[in-house]
Amino acid sequence: MNRKIVFIIISLLISISAFSQSKGKWVTGGALSADYRDDGYYIEAAPKFGYKFKLLEVGIAPFFSYQEVNQDYAYGLQTYCQLTVYENVFIHGEFQAANAYVSSEMNRQWVLGMPLGVGYEREIADNVLVKAALLYDVFYKEGFTPQKNPVVRVGMTYLL
């Protein structure tokens, strides 16, 4: 990975450590993203680890994805930030680095992404939330990124 990605990840981990000194909660869980278009399906799984302080949640999520169109996989790391703006509605932003097959280059390389969007969360049990989000990757470029726009993500979060 390049130095910018390492710097962002380290900065996020330091931020999480600083938040952990306050009265928030550690979170864990995971998310699934899926897409089906004319050229086949795309699916992504990402366990997540983070920290929630009042209306703000930050964390990291390693991920693995598969796309049918070229029968290829991608893997990488996402850092995310989520801010509740009204009751159960949140805005979500993330920065991701994926090692993926780039069809225009005919090889694998590290590709950056920045999905941004909105979502909704609902508590289904004590300290268990289900979340859904609609995201748009502002770095998307045909043939260079593994997922297509928009990205639909559904997941569960457990507050520790």
In this predicted structure, what is the pLDDT of residue 23? Answer: 74
| Backbone phi, psi, residue 130, to 5° | -110, 135
Spatial CA neighbour of 67 closest among 107, 37, 47, 46: 37
Top-ranked range on mean pLDDT: pick from 100-109, 116-125, 149-158: 116-125
In this predicted structure, what is the pLDDT of residue 34? Answer: 78
In this predicted structure, what is the pLDDT of residue 67? Answer: 81
Triad 147, 148, 150: Cα angle to 5°: 115
Confidence bin at 22 (pLDDT 50/70/90): low
In this predicted structure, what is the pLDDT of residue 35? Answer: 77
In this predicted structure, what is the pLDDT of residue 36? Answer: 78
What does each C-alpha distance from 138 to 62, 84, 93, 155 come to in angstroms? 20, 21, 10, 22
Confidence bin at 30 (pLDDT 50/70/90): very high
At 104 the three-state DSSP class reads coil
DSSP state of 102: E
Type of residue numbered 110: W
